[in-house]
Amino acid sequence: MPLTHTRDLFTKALKGKYALGAFNVNNMELIQAIVEACEEEKAPVILQISKGARQYANPVYLKKLIEAAISVTNIPIAVHLDHGDTVELCRQCIDEGFTSVMIDGSHLPFEKNVEVCKRVVDYAHKHNCVVEGELGQLVGAQFDEGEHGGSFSKGGVYTHPDEAVEFVRQTGVDSLAIAIGNSHGAYKFKGAQHLNLDRLTAIKKALMDASLGDYPLVLHGASSVPRELVEEINRTGGKLGEDAAGVPEADIEIARRTGVTKVNIDTDLRLAMTAGIRKAFLDNPKEFDPRKYLGPARVRVKELVRHKVRNVLCCAGQAFD
């Protein structure tokens, strides 16, 4: 079975009102764990590759590993460039057959972000590829500066609803990553903070009102940093901070119901793998066969992905509809 196009996965997910997991992959064990879990749960999946993953594993290895995964399963698999930072990198991935690329110009001024994104869109659309852009900044669990009384500051770091409409119109981008308090890594929230789901609703509505339809939104930094994984890692010799915290799964569920179609998860995979390896080392200190610690770690990642697709993203059972 060939790769499935990201565009087709989005169309079905929007229609079926479920979210797609976009899981970061860096090596064979991660790819196997994600694909096996999704196969058993009959879930479509996006495997995403960052620039760092390409540097770590070599793009050819990743491509061949994904080809191998596709040849042993029937589930729909799309391949996405995560956080492309230059037009050149995006072009390279498009030429290599990625079904979607992200151009991350979120750190640039609006006009420059539009310009860079449009260049990627122009190339991608000529080569049967779709593009994710990003507007707003994921600088941590922050409140939008200048937001008072329900009005939205254009100087804040959250995505502004009107600007989202302008950005999509001017670039022709196929999906949009938004900033609503989400951030990358294992230290997202302090205390009992949450995603700004009102802002998400406002962005979705603005796009709808502007006749852009049920427009696909993307949530980066969507790991939940499960407390039990953090504690297990620390019990087995790790030193993660007490303040490690992620997005509550209930927030992700509301985001899914409000119209987030692609949910990016990397940190939780890293935590599951680390917990598995640490436990194996502690249980069997004399062991030095990598299969004996990477194998259990792979099982832990698989169980985590199974939980996400079944209970959080609700894409289990959607692979063949």
Tokens of 34: 């994600």
**Whole-angstrom distance, CA of residue 312 vs CA of residue 247:** 12
> 176: helix, coil or strand?
strand
Minimum Å gap between C-beta 241 and ligand G3H is: 18
* Binding track over 32-71 against ligand G3H, x by CB under 6 A: ------------------x-xx------------------
User: What DSSP state is assigned to residue 309?
Assistant: I
Does 209 participate in catalysis according to the annotation?
no
Q: 152 vs 256, which CB is nearer to ligand 13P?
A: 256
Q: Does 268 bind ligand G3H (CB under 6 A)?
A: no
**What is the number of other CB atoms lying within 10 angstroms of the CB of residue 277?**
18
Minimum Å gap between C-beta 213 and Zn ion is: 24
Q: Does 182 bind ligand G3H (CB under 6 A)?
A: no
Minimum Å gap between C-beta 267 and ligand 13P is: 4
**Whole-angstrom distance, CA of residue 92 vs CA of residue 61:** 15
Q: Does 188 bind ligand G3H (CB under 6 A)?
A: no
Q: Does 41 bind ligand 13P (CB under 6 A)?
A: no
Tokens of 103: 């151009």
Name the catalytic one among 8, 82, 122, 283: 82
Tokens of 61: 């290895």
Helix (H) or strand (E) holding 256: helix 249-258
**Whole-angstrom distance, CA of residue 121 vs CA of residue 138:** 22
Q: Residue 52 binds which one of ligand 13P, ligand G3H, Zn ion, none, with CB within 5 to 8 A depending on kind?
A: ligand G3H
Q: Does 266 bind ligand G3H (CB under 6 A)?
A: yes
Q: Residue 223 binds which one of Zn ion, ligand G3H, ligand 13P, none, with CB within 5 to 8 A depending on kind?
A: ligand 13P
Residue 35 contacts residue 302 (beta carbons within 8 Å) = no
**What is the number of other CB atoms lying within 10 angstroms of the CB of residue 252?**
24
Minimum Å gap between C-beta 84 and ligand 13P is: 11
Q: 140 vs 185, which CB is nearer to ligand 13P?
A: 185
- Binding-residue total with ligand G3H (CB under 6 A): 8
Q: For residue 292, what are the β-bridge partners?
A: none
Q: Does 264 bind ligand 13P (CB under 6 A)?
A: yes
Tokens of 244: 């490690």
User: What DSSP state is assigned to residue 187?
Assistant: B
Stretch that binds Zn ion, among 119-127, 213-221, 285-293, 307-315 (CB under 5 A): 213-221
Question: Apex CA 289: angle with CA 285 and CA 291, to 5°?
Answer: 115
Q: Does 144 bind ligand 13P (CB under 6 A)?
A: no
What counts of helices (H) and strands (E) characterise the chain?
A: 12, 8
Torsion of CA 22, 27, 30, 35, to 10 degrees: 70
Q: For residue 177, what are the β-bridge partners?
A: 134, 218
Position among 4, 6, 24, 261 found at the interface with ligand G3H (CB under 6 A): 24
Q: Residue 172 binds which one of Zn ion, ligand 13P, ligand G3H, none, with CB within 5 to 8 A depending on kind?
A: none
Q: Does 261 bind ligand 13P (CB under 6 A)?
A: no
Cβ burial of 115 (10 Å; 0-12, 13-18, 19+) is middle
- Binding-residue total with Zn ion (CB under 5 A): 2
Tell me the catalytic residues.
Answer: 82
Residues in contact with ligand 13P by the rule CB under 6 A: 24, 82-83, 184-185, 220-223, 264-268
Residues in contact with ligand G3H by the rule CB under 6 A: 24, 50, 52-53, 82-83, 184, 266
Residues in contact with Zn ion by the rule CB under 5 A: 220, 264
